[in-house]
Chain A
Amino acid sequence: MTTTDLDAGTPARTSAPRGTGTRATRVLGIATVVAMAWLVAFGLGFSPADRDQEESVRILYVHVPTIWIAYLAFVVTAISSGCYLFGRKKSLGFDRVAGASAEIGVVFMAVTLIVGALWGRLTWGVFWQWDARLTTTALLFVTYIGYLAVRRLGGSHHQRAKRSAVLGLLAVLEIPLVHWSVRLWRSLHQEATVLRTDGDISMDGLMLFSLFVGVIAFTLLYVWLLLHRSRTMFLEDLIEDRGLDQALAARRAEAEEVRP
């Protein structure tokens, strides 16, 4: 990607992104920043206050998109895990996408839990309750922390990929439990407002649009993060392999010297 200034014989200044970036990710990054600015403008400025929750409803525009993205990230982890486990090629690319997506999902889930606690303080009067939705969400968060810990257990890349793929496929089964927890058990948490089974979206048009802007903004951010994080994982694996190769070569050289 780097161009060379032939006249001077020194590397030329280039506008090409460094590291794990490309022009496409740069464009995606700019689109994400613009979408986030729109989210702040609509979420905090243009959208109206709610009849019941008043101004605190504005937290919805970051709380709901972050949990949706966390779900999406964990589903992508499961799909990539399945592709690795059941695919013919056993490509480590699927494993890296699974790992990167799980990391992003954990970050978004942590944000959801903390922001949800702030919203809970305003609407319920408490930061935390061992309520069905909150407890199952916390359990999902801990499960994926475990998934990330399992990825760091050591062994070859394929051993890591195999064991984490199994866990990635099992952990995703918790998502329906979290989603339906408000119906399965008595819960303080409200039921779904948009993804309702009866199709009735009981939301003001501008509120729904603000939520839509939030979902778009965080989805763009997720894709941008996934591209960068999976490429970083590729570099980590490559450098680790190279280090192992060099260590093996050094040991072989030592053995050759010792041999009579």
Chain B
Amino acid sequence: MSAAIVGAIVEMDDAGFIIGSYVLTFATVGLFAWRTLRRGRRLAEQVPDEEKYWL
């Protein structure tokens, strides 16, 4: 994204609410995705590959 677009986003009306909505959405979903991946990796270490149906 160019600097001009970033500048326009920051200067738009109610930028705090609008950017906050995007940040909140991506942060929440990202946290859930990260926790799911981390738990999956930890559990997968305890199970041999032959039992993982997706491999």
Contacts and interface: CB of A to CB of B under 8 A. Distances in A.
- Do they bind each other? yes
Contacts of A107: 28-29, 32
Contact of B54 (A22, A58, A104): A22
A156 to B, nearest CB: 19
B14 A56 contact: yes
Interface string B9-47: 100111101111110111011001100110111111011
Interface of B: 1, 5, 8-9, 12-15, 17-22, 24-26, 28-29, 32-33, 36-37, 39-44, 46-47, 49, 51-55
**Residue picked from A21, A49, A66, most chain B C-beta under 10 Å:** A21
Contact of A232 (B19, B24, B29, B43): B43
Q: Is the interface of A mostly helix, strand, loop or mixed?
A: helix
Contacts of B20: 118
A232 B46 CA distance: 12
A239 B26 contact: no
Chain A interface size, as a band, is: 35 or more
Contact of A20 (B15, B26, B44): B44
B55 to A, nearest CB: 5
Contacts of A66: 25
Nearest to A100: B36
A23 to B, nearest CB: 11
Nearest to A231: B54
B24 A45 contact: no
Contact of B25 (A115, A234, A236, A239): A115
A111 B25 contact: yes
A20 B51 CA distance: 12
A54 to B, nearest CB: 6
Given A59-B18, A235-B43, A239-B43, 13 more contacts: A19-B37, A19-B44, A20-B41, A41-B1, A62-B22, A107-B29, A111-B24, A115-B21, A118-B17, A221-B33, A225-B32, A235-B47, A236-B43
